[in-house]
A and B are shown apart, each in its own frame.
Chain A
Amino acid sequence: MKKHNRLVGLGLVVALAQTANAADVRLNGFMSVGAGKLLNSGTSRDHLSTLLLAGVETGGGESPATYTADAATQGIYNEDLSFRPDSNYGLQITAALGDGLSATGQITGNGGENFDAVVSWAYLSYTFNDNYTLMVGRQRMPLFYYSDFIDVGYAYHWIRPPTTLAASEGDTIEGIKLRGTWLAGDWDISSDIYYGASKQEINRGGSQYTVESVDTGGFALKASNGTITLRASMLDSSAIISGNPLVQAFNQGTRDNPLQNTFYGLAAHINIANAFVVSEWTRNDNKENYLALFEVSGSEDTTGWYISAGARFGKVTPHITYGENESNYKGETLLGESQFTGGFSSVTIGLRWDFHSSAAFKMEYETRSDDSDDYFQNSAGGFGYGDGYEADLISFSFDAIF
């Protein structure tokens, strides 16, 4: 029924686009068809196991490591060739209503979610003058450099931005965003300040729950002079969890005691002649980690960064990327304290070939090393990550815009 409604909605939007041509309507879109498989993978241990309570030392089941290409949409590669994790599409309709007012809807679908159509953006935009634009409605948050256009593979050189970056749980809000742009000498300065809320269903490790983000606010500042682009961003959010009785039993993620999430990002992009270097550092702090079911209280901070360089030789752009990710986890459990570090480093080499004026072909090889504590013991028993990040991925994609 839900799906049916969505389709009817899409039909209506398309019908509107046809009838409202006089009101300056643009229809644009993008599509990525990607495929990949793991050539090699380590062994992942389930670090959250009910066996803990029984004092059994090994932490649950072992399984081959997987590669999460798109955490937000559960796009995961394993040893079988899959066309889903990096495949997606988007359709955007913008109606310019005159005097600086416009209405935009963007529908996207991801392979990891069976290509189901979801509304990623639905907002009204009002441009006051050369300097200020107000956007009200559903929109992606500008978290890291590529966050708000991460779906548009054509717009960057990789198949997917580095997965070493620290990701916050949500990427979309319903709210208000004020965009300011200024010229200062040779520099273009822009600032996005936003505030809002969101609600999303999470399906993780077999448990399903609803995360309601409230008091979500942040900013992104960017300065560019054509050669150098510098960017800084921050997000602060509180989350209320429902549908997970264990979490609620400990009064975590309730309206009185919401979970705190803070994200910081810094980025620099340099473009000289045909060469470019881009580097980015991100950090995500979760207080009261609700994902670990056995903690009374806990915290997890993740730091992730990368540096990437490439050069354009006509239509071909070879590139190389190195990145690291580290999560420090501290928890107070029913049975004692626990603390461990998970993380990985990654090297990617890739090639982008602009074989068509509106489409590119990309191929990449990435090798990841697991830097996690393999196994540890404490009063609560024993558990660890294993080599859950150990994976070598080969992938390719076709990315188009229209």
Chain B
Amino acid sequence: MPFVSLHRFIACLLLTTFFCVSGWAQAGVVVIVHPSNANALSATDISRLFLGKKRSFPDGNEAIPIDQSDSSPIRAAFTETVLKKNEQQIKSYWAQQLFTGKGTPPKAVGNSSEVKKLVASNPALIGYVDSAEVDDSVKVVAEF
């Protein structure tokens, strides 16, 4: 009896993991910049920009990250995959930074199409969107 339930448990766990992973894959988070931005960015670079640890692109130009608001479903996927923090950790992190003068969280907009519109119009901006949202107005620098 204990064996059976352990097997079932593991099977359940694997299934859950599979669905989670495929769920994220379907969401397809991509990081976008203005088409004129020629910088190559690693996952670490992107994480540092969104955590306020870096304020410029590798070429030295100013970088301004654009976040998505709490209600956006893609936000949690980006925060956990790229920033390696859960909801509570990222909020604690920014509370700590904000109230000690070490940094302010990125401005947040409501959804992927708003992020795309902003990034398409300003070479300093960097944002993340649903892969379905991507078109010629922006350039993809990373895919998660």
Residues on A close to B: CB < 8 A? Answer: 26, 28, 30, 90, 92, 94, 96, 104, 106, 121, 123, 125, 127, 129-130, 135, 139-140, 142, 148-149, 151-152, 154-156, 179, 181, 183, 186, 188, 226, 312, 315, 354, 357-358, 360, 401
Contact across chains for A188 and B53 when beta carbons are under 8 A apart: yes
> Given the known A-B contacts A26-B104, A130-B54, are A92 and B98 also in contact in the complex, defined by CB atoms under 8 Å?
yes
Could you say which of B87, B96, B98 contacts A28, with CB atoms under 8 Å apart? B98
User: B91 an interface residue at 8 Å Cβ cutoff?
Assistant: yes
Q: Which of A28, A90, A155 has most B Cβ within 10 Å?
A: A155
B101 x A135 contact (CB < 8 A): yes
| Inter-subunit contact B101/A149 (CB<8 Å) | no
Contact indicator A152/B96 (Cβ below 8 Å): yes
* CA distance in complex: A139, B86 (Å): 30
Q: Across the interface, which residues of B come within 8 angstroms of A104, CB to CB?
A: 101
Contacts A183-B54, A357-B87, A360-B88 given: A152-B101 contact, CB under 8 Å?
no
Q: Does B114 contact A (CB under 8 A)?
A: no
Q: Which residues of B contact A (CB under 8 A)?
A: 44, 48, 53-56, 70, 84, 86-88, 91-92, 95-96, 98-102, 104
Most buried by A among B55, B91, B99, B104: B99
Apart from A129-B55, A149-B100, A357-B70, what 15 extra A-B contacts exist at CB < 8 Å? A26-B104, A28-B98, A92-B98, A96-B104, A125-B101, A139-B101, A142-B100, A148-B100, A149-B95, A151-B99, A154-B92, A155-B92, A155-B95, A183-B48, A188-B53
A386–B87 alpha-carbon span in the complex (Å): 46
Q: How far is the CB of A75 from chain B (nearest CB, A)?
A: 19
In the complex the two chains form, is A354's CB within 8 Å of B53's CB?
no
Pick the contact of A354 from B44, B55, B87, B98 — CB < 8 Å?
A: B87
Interface SS of chain A: strand
**What CA separation (Å) do A125 and B44 show in the bound complex?**
27
Q: Which residue of B lies closest to A274 (CB)?
A: B86
Residue numbers in B under 8 Å from A135 (CB-CB): 101
Chain A residues with CB under 8 A of B86: 312
User: For residue A153, which residue of chain B has the nearest CB?
Assistant: B95
A130 touches B96 (CB 8 A): no
A401 and B91 contact, Cβ closer than 8 Å, known pairs A183-B54, A312-B86: yes
A140 to B102, CA, bound (A): 12
With CB as the reference atom, state the residue of chain A lying closest to B93. Answer: A155
Please state if B101 and A154 are interface contacts (CB–CB under 8 Å).
no
Contacts of B101 in A (CB 8 A): 104, 121, 123, 125, 135, 139
Chain B residues near A152 (CB-CB < 8 A): 95-96, 99
* Across-interface contacts of A181 in B (CB, < 8 A): 53
B95-A315 in contact (CB<8A) = no
Q: Please, how many angstroms separate the alpha-carbon atoms of A216 and B16 in the complex? A: 56
